[in-house]
Amino acid sequence: MGECREVWVFIEHQDGRIADVSLELLTKARELADRLQGAVAALLLGHGVAELAEIAIHHGADVVFVADHPELTPYRTLPYARVAIELVREYKPYILLLGATPVGRDLAPRIASACWAGLTADCTALQIGDVQRSGETYTELLYQIRPAFGGNVIATIVNPEMHPQMATVREGVMQLGAPDPTRSGEVLTVEPQFEEGDLALQVVDRSLRLPTCDLKGASVIVAGGAGVGSKENFGLIYDLAEVLGGEVAASRAAVDAGFVSHEHQVGQTGTTVRPRLYVACGISGAVQHRAGMDQSSKIIAINSDPNAPIFQIAHYKIVGDLNEVIPAMIDALRGSPE
């Protein structure tokens, strides 16, 4: 890897498939590394995972560190932390990115605290830039950008001295680039050395719950907010989604009120979506909600308040009571004479 500045990505995988969030981070890492004239490395831990290295290379990695060991499946905090921390200490990456997933959120703080590095969770943007502080100029730092203080500010967080500069990013926040099957890279095999205590925890059983909706892949989404009023009335959102052939989503207020389950939540602490059409019904348009849907190609907003912030980003604005507007839309779409 030489002396160049390296951007590392921790690769998550399940059933022989790299998680989308890791591929999205490889795309972003490639962009950052090109800006730094550096290299991208992928950290691939598990058992029977070596063939995934090629996919990481096609998505932008120059080097893939592969630690393939029976003790590395399924994921356990201590063995993974042992391998990742040893590698970070040895190779000193400039930047380390992980998915803001249950695994990434577990592993990232372990690595950060062992390496005395800073860590910003749930970044919504990552850029390279300079920083002036106390008369000193720090060049080409990682700007770790995310909403803070309840969304009242967008904070740019930097980590000038202690590296790696670490960040986690939620799935869907970064764009996934197309793979380039002509790319080539280097695979470095890592022989993990565990200590007895690393293996103290034994996994006796695992059960995975598969998602019941696919918001990220949906091209049409109909989302309901607190303005829908009740779980029963949320049927209107399902009806409109059915007519439009789309998925059902919700604001956090609607989820918190029990109208629909959390996996339907869009926003900073939900899913980030980029559908062709997003219909926001009874959603005010708080910054945390917008962070998850403002990249939609077309946004229709239905709200009884003409000053609702959602109208600032909507392409089509319907001021009215959703209890009247949605049935009228459904009738029109079904071709009813009414």
Stretch binding ligand FAD (CB under 6 A), from 35-43, 153-161, 189-197, 261-269: 261-269
Nearest distance from residue 231's CB to ligand FAD, in Å? 14
Q: Which of 99, 225, 246, 275 binds ligand FAD (CB under 6 A)?
A: 225
- The residue type of 86 is E
Q: Measure the CA angle with vertex 95, ends 13 and 147; round to 5°.
A: 85
According to the binding rule CB under 6 A, does residue 61 interact with ligand FAD?
no
220 and 244 Cβ atoms separated by less than 8 Å: yes
Distance CA 314, CA 171 (A): 24
Encoding tokens for residue 79?
């063995």
CB closer to ligand FAD out of 118 and 270: 270
Nearest distance from residue 282's CB to ligand FAD, in Å? 4
According to the binding rule CB under 6 A, does residue 296 interact with ligand FAD?
no
According to the binding rule CB under 6 A, does residue 260 interact with ligand FAD?
no
What does the per-residue mask of binding to ligand FAD show for 124-163, with x meaning CB under 6 A? --------------------------xx------------
Nearest distance from residue 119's CB to ligand FAD, in Å? 17
CB closer to ligand FAD out of 79 and 292: 292
DSSP state letter for 30: H
Distance CA 159, CA 138 (A): 10
According to the binding rule CB under 6 A, does residue 322 interact with ligand FAD?
yes
According to the binding rule CB under 6 A, does residue 308 interact with ligand FAD?
yes
According to the binding rule CB under 6 A, does residue 337 interact with ligand FAD?
no
DSSP state letter for 92: -
Q: Which of 267, 272, 300, 329 binds ligand FAD (CB under 6 A)?
A: 267
According to the binding rule CB under 6 A, does residue 173 interact with ligand FAD?
no
8 and 38 Cβ atoms separated by less than 8 Å: no
CB closer to ligand FAD out of 82 and 146: 146
According to the binding rule CB under 6 A, does residue 326 interact with ligand FAD?
no
Question: Would you tell me how many other CB atoms lie within 10 Å of the CB of residue 174?
Answer: 24
Rounded to the nearest 10°, the torsion over CA 82, 86, 88, 90 is 180
* Pure H helices in 15-129: 20-36, 52-58, 77-91, 102-114
According to the binding rule CB under 6 A, does residue 268 interact with ligand FAD?
yes
Distance CA 49, CA 46 (A): 6
Q: Tell me the β-bridge partners of 157.
A: 144
Question: Would you tell me how many other CB atoms lie within 10 Å of the CB of residue 280?
Answer: 31
Residues interacting with ligand FAD, by CB under 6 A?
A: 150-151, 225-227, 251-254, 265, 267-270, 282-284, 286, 288-289, 292, 302-305, 308, 321-323
